[in-house]
Amino acid sequence: MVNWLLSVTASAALLGFTATMQTTHTSELRELEPAPCVEVEVAISESDRPDLSMAPTAHSPQSETRVTRQQRREQLALKIRTMPGWSLYESAHYFILTCVQDVRFIEELKKRSESIRRAIQHDFPHPDLDPVQIHTAPNVIRVLEDRDQFHSYGGPSGCTGYWASVQGEIVLYDDKAGGGRRNTWAALSGMVFLEYLNSISGDSMAAPWFLYGHSEYYSGFKFADSKHHPAPFDWRTGLAKKNVETSKVAPLEEFVRFTHSQYHGANPRSIDGSSCYAQAWSFIWFLREGHKSKLWNPAWEKILGTWWSAWRETSDVTAATDRAFAGVDWTELQTAWEAFTLEL
């Protein structure tokens, strides 16, 4: 048991660091503490039941390369028999591993994960309707008990969740006793986007402003009437406005060409990672929600769609950026974005 915990903690620490620098947000965890009993609970509500019309055909690539849902379920059920206090749940698109004993919390997590996924799928439709066919093995959402457990599991400091693509896991924690579950829900929404995009693109890395900006965009969504709705992300609005006011922002013409290392602080303008996250969120928010602003140019409505299509076609970030921003008046775009951000 002890050896298993040490190996998981070590590997997760490496994955957490990779996630921070490449494809995720981060969060915090503590060493798994044994509990008095073992439970394997597969709980799937009527609203979460698989849509059989989504089942892969005999010629589906995913049906040939991925284990089945039942096989993955059995693997996870077997694994948690060595993890006292842990339970297995599932929704339509996710297995949920957790030591959190609050059933209402887990039910809400299931509803929220499926809801934000539908919102993301609406914005990023897939030719096959769903990049993860319902009968293939879903990815895992691992929910830790608290921040300490999250850190012990390998979650980097200063974050609330991460997506580990190698293991196919979203890792986050119940922040009820800390900053509140609003933090947990924000992390969940952002990580579902990263997981969804990875399901489509595999190891190809989108430009950081596009990737992390959208992850932050969905993190800000509000959940009401069983649906997610766009809303400004309060983790970023204050810093985004402050940085525009103090000119601590990169010119957009440069920013959309930042590499991942530059995005996380290693850029010639010495703009730190937090400020880059805030700028990316505010730019995506502007491109998706700024069409009613006074300085809006209708030509900008095609930027995100063009970038996404070009990148999916070429897997070339530079080519996608060139195509999406061809003919853009950068001064006009910069002025409009900054004015919109200051009004948040």
Q: pLDDT, tens digit, for every residue of 31-65?
A: 222 222 222 233 333 333 333 222 222 223 333 45
**Domain contains 216:** no
- Cβ-Cβ contacts under 8 Å for 331 (sequence gap 6 or more): none
Q: Do 171 and 306 sit in the same domain of this protein?
A: no
pLDDT tens per residue across span 218-250: 999 999 999 999 999 999 999 999 999 999 999
Q: Do 275 and 154 sit in the same domain of this protein?
A: no
Kindly report the average pLDDT of the chain as a whole number.
82
For position 19, what pLDDT does the model report? 37
**Domain contains 72:** yes
- Cβ-Cβ contacts under 8 Å for 115 (sequence gap 6 or more): 223, 226, 227, 228
Q: Do 151 and 274 sit in the same domain of this protein?
A: no
pLDDT tens per residue across span 70-115: 999 999 999 999 999 999 999 999 999 999 999 999 999 999 999 9
Q: Do 261 and 309 sit in the same domain of this protein?
A: yes
Q: Do 183 and 316 sit in the same domain of this protein?
A: no
Shortest CA distance to 22 belongs to which of 260, 262, 207, 194?
A: 260
Phi, psi of 296 (to 5 degrees): -65, 135
Q: What is the domain count for the chain?
A: 2
Arithmetic mean of pLDDT, 298-324: 97
Range of the domain at 267: 237-342
Q: Do 170 and 70 sit in the same domain of this protein?
A: yes
Q: Give 198 or 25, the one with higher predicted confidence.
A: 198
pLDDT surpasses 50 at 27: no
Identity at 61, one-letter amino acid code: P
Phi, psi of 49 (to 5 degrees): -65, 145
Q: Do 197 and 241 sit in the same domain of this protein?
A: no
Q: Which of 153-167, 199-213, 315-329 has the highest mean pLDDT?
A: 315-329
pLDDT tens per residue across span 127-176: 766 777 667 778 999 999 999 999 999 998 888 999 999 999 999 999 99
Which of 180, 201, 222 finishes a domain? 201
For position 137, what pLDDT does the model report? 78
**Domain contains 212:** no
**Domain contains 226:** no
Which of 174, 201, 228 finishes a domain? 201
Q: Do 12 and 84 sit in the same domain of this protein?
A: yes
Q: Do 176 and 265 sit in the same domain of this protein?
A: no
Q: Provide the token pair at 21.
A: 């620098």
Which of 201, 229, 254 finishes a domain? 201
**pTM, whole model, 2 decimals?**
0.81
Q: How far is Cα 280 from Cα 341, in angstroms, rounded to an integer?
A: 11
Arithmetic mean of pLDDT, 304-309: 97
Arithmetic mean of pLDDT, 269-284: 97
Q: Do 50 and 119 sit in the same domain of this protein?
A: yes
